[in-house]
Structure 1
Amino acid sequence: MAVSDQKELRPSATDAFDDADYEVVERICPGLRVEGPPEDLAREADTRTDPVWGHYKTIVLAHAGKPLHRWEGSTGGVLTGLAAMMLATGEVRFVLHVKACEEQPTFGVSTMSFTEADVLQAAGSRYGPAAPLTRLTEALDLGQPFAFIGRPCDLSALANLSDTEPRIAELIRYRLAFVCGGPTVSLDIDRMVRNAGVDPDALVSMRYRGRGCPGPTTMVTGDGTEVNKRYVDFLDPDGGSWPMPFRCKICPDGIGEIADIAVSDTWIGGGPDAETEETDPGTNALIVRTAAGCALVEAAAKAGFLTLGEEVGPSELNAYQPHQHDKKYAAWARLEGLRRGGRLYPKTRRLRLRQLAEDMPRAFNEDQASGTLRRAQALVPEIVPPPASTCRRRSSAGACGACAGAGD
């Protein structure tokens, strides 16, 4: 993965791809293939299913049991606490996840955490580009059990690769996800940094969230100047929409349906209250989807790494994550618009998208389909053959949708 002229991560082939190489990409890339959990999970006696939120064992409020983990984490510190617990108890040897990138401070970079100190160094959300699976081969080659924490699309890539890579099932003991609203486009992050009075090229470190819920966005420059902005003021100073890649706008699974545990913010309406964000200690909602996830939560609570609250349900998740609810209902129509226009789009299975679309008015589906195609056409209005060093093959309608929709 290389940084493009637009400051985004893009795949770059080290050698020319042939058709066999591209067929591998088609099978693995989560921009082209996104599937829900196996059907046998739904048949388990203690599994419940919601049309929007998918299969789950339980949904429970929780926060990290250790005050430091809760403070350093981006919401309630649950993922930080779970990672620390798995290392402390020997459940896994290390955790593959993301930390802040030193060379590109607004970016995230793949890392392997072997100690609690490593985990704490990586705590806090990363809103810029990140590719946590770039060290997957290195992690697998260690031959030791580990856990993975990432976006739902990263988990889709793991699941797709596991068809031909048996070490994934053998070595990855837990797959944890955060409910993902989509990363922020790098050039928009630079704009936000400038709005905060900081030169993006002068940054040496950046922390988006943490040390509170959501905590301040902290920027440090090479001369030691530190600028702190409230989260809501940094990300949304003008009250505009969240800037994200096109691929994220058509995402059929932002909720981690194949995770053992998916972790969500719990802000009513989908965003923090500006009046209380400085005093909110942070609480997560845990969507526990598998028996392994249940066992992990129970062990973490028993060991003091998690403090469990009340059990909630899909209606509460709809209140915490209304954008996820709405996007799930719109996903089928958005993908259908790309299909009609001959564009590449993620092929999906076991995500109930057609079922949800059938509950919506026909006019809504048509509007979503046509609007999505218009946006894709605006991104790439005409077909330009790709350089030999990038994508080997394009459809008649454009490039692979994994790289921000109609990008390379």
Structure 2
Amino acid sequence: MTPENRFRTIVDQHMCISCGLCASLMGPHKIEMAVSDHKELRPRVAGTLTNNDFTKVQRVCPGVRIEGPELQTTPVNGEKTDLVWGPYLRMVHAHASNSTHRWEGSTGGVLTALATMLLRTGKVAFVLHVKASDSNPTFGVSTMSFTEADVLQAAGSRYGPAAPLSRLAQALEMDQSFAFIGRPCDVSAIGNLAEFDERVARLIVFRLAFVCGGPTPSLDIDRMIARAGVNPEQVVEMRYRGRGCPGPTAITTADGNTVYKRYSDFLNTDGRTWPMHFRCKICPDGIGERADIAVSDTWPGGVPDPTIGDADSGTNAMIVRTLKGLELVQEADAAGFLTLGNDFGPEGMDLYQPHQRDKKYAAWARIRGLRGAGRLFPHTKRLRLRDLASRMPREFNAEQSRGTKDRSQALVPEHIDLSYFKAPDVSLSRTVQEEK
């Protein structure tokens, strides 16, 4: 199998999460990001790849390699580790003190407030994150924010296709300190890259993540737009949420009309069954274990209360994972960028993010199902997946493995030779059973 075919297999086996890092590292003459037939943003081979090129991609790709943080030789005082939620120094409610940041943000504006503070205090030269695409309004696009106005323009969630790391190589070449805000899988990819690029630890001084339920497939977004009575081809601006918590979904068309739908009505979901990609259904880390701070919604049961609607200004739950993150939160509180609420424990995250808890318990069995089906599967370390699975009934694990195996066979009929995807070094454990 050629390096090009091995690379295409990652995409064809539905392991790609479209972070864009492979395209950024290889350059457009080798790999480019392109819109697929299913309107997804996917990497595409544009030239010849060497074996070394593929090995590098395999080492950084968070679709096939996702790990928890390295164990500290000297434990940080006060650090705790929860079996589901991972290592943390503090869990606390918070919202942006600036009312505009809080209103424009997806929930309580915490990430907007922290990005603003980092720029205003000169701790970073810019923030690498995602904003709405000008050319395809349902998509997101990687962007660098150098000013507070840039940050505010990018506020709000993007549920459609995006490649947050497609500009990472460019950002590193600028040789300036910056912060990254993105999905947990993007943060994991950055951690993978840090192992052989010293600039990552030196220049990416803060890694901030939002707890991620999984992007929505583009064709499903089009169906949601059509269900709202709008022709997807006529959409010129799309705001998924914000301006309230969660705020309305706003769809603006070429004739200047804007259709507003209640967020939960637009998704047509009970909060647990929204459409997502196959890779996201087996995600072993939607909670940002390698981030300095991970931020989530605070809806009990994981579902917004329809009786409150847009009147809720929004409050985030923060999982502060590193000493650097803790110091940032404390400084943001003292300087008036954040308003902190009460602290809570893992049971609070269980309440706010039950779908993340449930997926963490099921991840080991689901990955085993993929492996048993002869499909490509993500290599994992330090995520406690096997320990979590051991606490579940045998019947549950068997059902999760069987269901994943069946779905994978329906998506990709053919088996592959997994020996072509053998881990390039000991950091990539080949067997799921070695997960600790």
Instruction: Tell me, yes or no, whether TM beats 0.5.
Output: yes
Q: Could you tell me whether the CA contact under 8 Å between 1:93 and 1:144 is conserved in 2?
A: yes
Is 1:17 aligned to residue 14 of structure 2?
no
Is 1:142 aligned to residue 205 of structure 2?
no
Is 1:338 aligned to residue 370 of structure 2?
yes
Q: Could you tell me whether the CA contact under 8 Å between 2:271 and 2:302 is conserved in 1?
A: no
Paired with 1:368 and 1:120, the residues of 2 have a C-alpha distance of: 41
Please give the per-residue CA displacement for 1:89-140, whole angstroms capped at 9, x wherever unaligned. 1111100000001111111100000111000100000001111100111111
Is 1:271 aligned to residue 303 of structure 2?
yes
2:80 counterpart residue number = 48
Within a 5 Å distance, the mapping from 1:151-190 to structure 2 comes to: 151-190=183-222
The code of the aligned residue for 2:187 comes to: L
User: What is the total number of aligned residue pairs between the two structures?
Assistant: 390
The code of the aligned residue for 2:322 comes to: T
Is 1:206 aligned to residue 238 of structure 2?
yes
Please give the per-residue CA displacement for 1:246-266, whole angstroms capped at 9, x wherever unaligned. 000000000000100000100
CA displacement at 1:382 relative to structure 2: 2.8
Is 1:119 aligned to residue 143 of structure 2?
no
The code of the aligned residue for 2:92 comes to: V
Paired with 1:238 and 1:119, the residues of 2 have a C-alpha distance of: 31
Where structure 2 has 5 or more consecutive residues not aligned to the other structure, the ranges are 1-32, 423-436
Paired with 1:398 and 1:190, the residues of 2 have a C-alpha distance of: 37
Evaluate the alpha carbon distance shift between residue 190 and residue 344 of structure 1 in structure 2; reply closer, same or farther with a 3 A threshold.
same
Paired with 1:119 and 1:215, the residues of 2 have a C-alpha distance of: 19
Is 1:375 aligned to residue 369 of structure 2?
no
Evaluate the alpha carbon distance shift between residue 18 and residue 395 of structure 1 in structure 2; reply closer, same or farther with a 3 A threshold.
farther
CA displacement at 1:239 relative to structure 2: 8.5
The code of the aligned residue for 1:95 comes to: V
Paired with 1:233 and 1:225, the residues of 2 have a C-alpha distance of: 19
- Tell me, what secondary structure is at the counterpart of 2:44? coil
Paired with 1:340 and 1:136, the residues of 2 have a C-alpha distance of: 35
Where structure 1 has 5 or more consecutive residues not aligned to the other structure, the ranges are 384-393, 401-408
Is 1:317 aligned to residue 312 of structure 2?
no
- Tell me, what secondary structure is at the counterpart of 1:278? helix
Q: TM-score, normalised by structure 2?
A: 0.87
Q: Could you tell me whether the CA contact under 8 Å between 1:100 and 1:126 is conserved in 2?
A: yes
- Tell me, what secondary structure is at the counterpart of 2:294? strand
The code of the aligned residue for 2:256 comes to: G
Paired with 1:168 and 1:360, the residues of 2 have a C-alpha distance of: 38
Larger RCO (alpha carbons 8 Å, 6+ apart): 1
Paired with 2:272 and 2:111, the residues of 1 have a C-alpha distance of: 29
CA displacement at 1:236 relative to structure 2: 1.1
2:17 counterpart residue number = none
One of 94, 98, 106 as aligned partner of 1:62: 94
Evaluate the alpha carbon distance shift between residue 303 and residue 246 of structure 1 in structure 2; reply closer, same or farther with a 3 A threshold.
same
Paired with 1:340 and 1:301, the residues of 2 have a C-alpha distance of: 49
Evaluate the alpha carbon distance shift between residue 146 and residue 178 of structure 1 in structure 2; reply closer, same or farther with a 3 A threshold.
same
Paired with 2:382 and 2:116, the residues of 1 have a C-alpha distance of: 33
Cα RMSD after superposing both structures: 1.7
Paired with 2:222 and 2:122, the residues of 1 have a C-alpha distance of: 40
Is 1:262 aligned to residue 265 of structure 2?
no
**Which of structure 1's runs of 4+ aligned residues deviate more than 4 A?**
237-240, 396-400
Paired with 1:397 and 1:128, the residues of 2 have a C-alpha distance of: 34
Is 1:33 aligned to residue 26 of structure 2?
no
Q: Could you tell me whether the CA contact under 8 Å between 1:42 and 1:55 is conserved in 2?
A: no
CA displacement at 1:287 relative to structure 2: 0.2
Q: TM-score, normalised by structure 1?
A: 0.93
Evaluate the alpha carbon distance shift between residue 399 and residue 194 of structure 1 in structure 2; reply closer, same or farther with a 3 A threshold.
farther
- Tell me, what secondary structure is at the counterpart of 1:175? strand
What percentage of residue pairs aligned between the two structures are identical?
63
Paired with 2:181 and 2:410, the residues of 1 have a C-alpha distance of: 34
Single out whichever of 100-109 and 11-20 deviates more from structure 2.
Answer: 11-20
2:398 counterpart residue number = 366
The code of the aligned residue for 1:164 comes to: F
Paired with 1:6 and 1:13, the residues of 2 have a C-alpha distance of: 17
- Tell me, what secondary structure is at the counterpart of 2:311? coil
1:195 counterpart residue number = 227
Q: Could you tell me whether the CA contact under 8 Å between 2:116 and 2:151 is conserved in 1?
A: yes
Paired with 2:281 and 2:74, the residues of 1 have a C-alpha distance of: 27
The code of the aligned residue for 1:146 comes to: F
The code of the aligned residue for 1:6 comes to: H
